[in-house]
C-alpha cells in the first residue's frame, strides 16, 4: 500500500505521461492504457501519449480512444513513463524511454532479470493477484477521485473481461466482479463490447479453424491441434488468425493439458500450452527455452511435426 501511495504521488506531481504496454497487445494492455490516459486527461494533465509498438488489433479498434494509440513516441521528454500490463521494458518492444521517472502498473509475475530494473523504478503497483492491469488502473483512478465515465468504463470492462476469459478463469475475483458491476453502472455495455471483441472473427479465420480442428487428437491426458503452413496458405491467413486456437483442445474432456502446434516455417513450430490447473506448463515450456504462466505458456521447437510432438509429449508425460 506504501508503494501504491508513491505511485499516486508520482501521478499527482507529474504533468506529461508516456503510457506503454506490451507488444502484441490484448484488450487488457490497450484498455488499461487508454483508461489511464483518459483519467489523467480528466485531472488536467497535458502531454499524454499512449504507446504500443504494434497497431491496435482489429477487434479492439472500437474501444473509445483506440485511435490515439501511437506506434512511435513523440520527440520530447516526459515527466513519467508508466509500463502497463508488463514489468519488463523488453516486452514493450522499445529500447528506452525519454522520461524523468519510471513506474509500473502490472499483474504479471516478475522474472529475475526484471528484478534489477524494478529496483530502479520510482513507483509501482504490481499485484499478481489482480485479474487484469485494467483493474489496477481502476483502483488508481478511484484513489485519484477520477469520474469513471462511459468511455473509461468501456475500456476497463474490456480489460477485465478478456483477462478473466469472460469471468471464467481462476483470477475471477470478487473485486473483478464488483468492479465490472460498477463499470456497467458507469455505462459499459456488455453485449456491445462482446460483439466487437469476440463475435467479430474474419470468415477466413473460421475456415482456418475448421481445418485445424479436424486435426484434433487426445492421448494420455493431452489434447492437441495443429495448424500447418499449408492451411495458412490455403485460407490466405497468418499467425494472428490462430491466436486463440489453443482454447479448443483445452475444452476436451479428460484433458489436463492442451497444446497448439503452429507451423511457422518448414520444421519450425510455435507451441502454445494450456493447463487446466494441475500441471505447470510454464516449467515444461522453460525446458525448451520458452516461458509464460503456470496455466498458459509457449515455446518454439525445431524438427518435423512428429519429432516436435514426441519431445513435448515426453516432457509432459513426466509431469502429468
Q: Which is nearer to Mn ion, 162 or 312 (CB)?
A: 162
Single out the segment in contact with Mn ion by CB under 5 A; choices: 37-45, 95-103, 158-166, 293-301.
158-166
Take residue 152 and report the three cell numbers written for it: 473509461
Q: How far apart are CA 283 and CA 170, in angstroms?
A: 19
Q: Crossing angle of helices 150-163/190-197, nearest 10°?
A: 60
Distance CA 55, CA 53 (A): 7
Nearer to Mn ion, 295 or 308 (CB): 295
Taking the complex as a whole, the smallest distance from the CB of residue 130 to Mn ion amounts, in Å, to 9
CA 190 and chain centroid, separation: 20
Angle at 156 between CA 153 and CA 157, to 5 degrees: 80
Q: Which is nearer to Mn ion, 133 or 257 (CB)?
A: 133
Shortest approach of Mn ion to residue 26 CB, angstroms?
Answer: 7
- Distance, in Å, from the CA atom of 313 to the CA atom of 320, rounded to the nearest integer, reads 10
CB of 106 to Mn ion, least distance (A): 8
Q: Is 106 in the site for Mn ion (CB under 5 A)?
A: no
Q: How many CB atoms lie within 10 A of CB 57?
A: 17
Q: Which is nearer to Mn ion, 162 or 316 (CB)?
A: 162
| Among 162-170, 208-216, 239-247, 269-277, the segment contacting Mn ion (CB under 5 A) | 162-170
Q: How far apart are CA 297 and CA 309, in angstroms?
A: 16
Query: Between 81 and 137, whose beta carbon lies closer to Mn ion?
Result: 137
- Judged by CB under 5 A, the stretch of 16-24, 28-36, 39-47, 222-230 that binds Mn ion is 28-36
Residue ranges in 58-87 that form contacts with Mn ion under rule CB under 5 A: 85
Cell of 142: 478511484
From the CB of 107, what's the least distance to Mn ion, in Å? 6
Least Å distance between CB 154 and Mn ion? 17
Q: For the CB of residue 85, give the shortest distance to Mn ion in the complex, in Å.
A: 4
- d(C-alpha 196, C-alpha 245), whole Å: 18
Q: Which residue is nearest to Mn ion (CB)?
A: 28
> 146 is written with which cell numbers?
477520477
Q: Which of 89, 152, 163, 316 binds Mn ion (CB under 5 A)?
A: 163
CA distance 202 to 216: 22
If one asks whether residue 241 binds Mn ion (CB under 5 A), the answer comes out as: no
Closer by beta carbon to Mn ion, 30 or else 231: 30
Are 136 and 172 in contact by the 8 Å Cβ rule? The answer is no
Query: Per-residue string for binding with Mn ion, 133-152, x by CB under 5 A?
Result: x-------------------
> How many residues form the binding site for Mn ion (CB under 5 A)?
5
Locate all alpha helices (DSSP H) within the chain, ordered by sequence: 2-13, 27-42, 112-120, 133-143, 150-163, 174-185, 190-197, 203-213, 229-235, 247-250, 281-287, 305-317
Residues making contact with Mn ion (CB under 5 A): 28, 85, 132-133, 163
Amino acid at each position: 500500500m506504501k508503494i501504491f501511495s508513491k505511485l499516486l504521488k508520482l501521478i499527482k506531481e507529474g504533468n506529461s505521461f508516456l503510457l506503454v504496454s506490451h507488444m502484441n497487445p490484448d484488450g487488457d494492455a490497450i484498455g488499461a492504457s487508454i483508461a489511464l490516459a483518459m483519467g489523467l486527461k480528466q485531472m488536467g494533465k497535458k502531454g499524454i501519449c499512449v504507446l504500443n509498438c504494434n497497431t491496435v488489433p482489429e477487434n479492439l479498434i472500437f474501444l473509445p480512444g483506440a485511435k490515439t494509440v501511437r506506434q512511435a513516441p513523440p520527440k520530447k521528454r516526459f515527466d513519467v513513463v508508466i509500463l502497463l500490463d508488463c514489468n519488463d521494458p523488453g516486452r514493450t518492444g522499445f529500447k528506452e524511454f525519454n522520461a524523468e521517472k519510471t513506474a509500473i502498473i502490472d499483474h504479471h509475475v516478475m522474472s529475475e532479470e526484471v528484478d534489477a530494473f524494478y529496483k530502479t523504478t520510482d513507483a509501482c503497483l504490481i499485484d499478481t493477484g489482480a485479474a487484469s492491469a485494467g483493474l489496477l488502473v481502476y483502483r488508481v483512478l478511484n484513489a485519484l477521485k477520477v469520474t469513471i465515465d462511459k468511455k473509461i468504463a468501456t475500456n476497463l470492462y474490456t480489460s477485465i473481461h478478456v483477462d478473466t476469459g469472460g469471468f471464467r478463469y481462476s483470477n475471477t475475483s470478487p473485486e473483478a466482479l464488483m468492479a465490472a458491476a460498477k463499470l456497467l453502472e458507469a455505462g459499459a455495455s456488455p453485449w456491445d463490447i462482446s460483439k466487437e471483441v469476440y463475435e467479430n472473427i474474419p470468415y477466413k479465420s473460421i475456415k482456418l479453424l475448421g481445418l485445424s480442428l479436424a486435426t484434433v487428437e487426445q492421448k494420455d491426458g493431452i489434447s492437441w491441434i495443429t495448424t500447418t503452413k499449408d492451411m495458412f496458405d490455403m485460407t490466405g491467413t497468418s499467425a494472428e488468425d490462430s491466436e486463440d486456437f489453443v482454447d479448443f483442445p483445452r475444452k476436451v474432456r479428460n484433458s489436463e493439458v492442451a497444446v497448439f502446434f503452429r507451423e511457422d516455417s518448414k520444421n519450425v513450430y510455435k507451441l502454445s500450452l494450456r493447463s487446466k490447473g494441475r500441471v505447470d506448463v510454464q516449467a515444461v515450456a522453460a525446458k525448451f527455452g520458452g516461458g509464460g504462466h503456470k496455466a498458459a505458456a509457449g515455446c518454439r521447437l525445431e524438427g518435423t511435426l512428429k519429432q516436435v510432438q514426441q519431445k513435448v509429449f515426453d516432457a509432459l508425460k513426466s509431469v502429468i
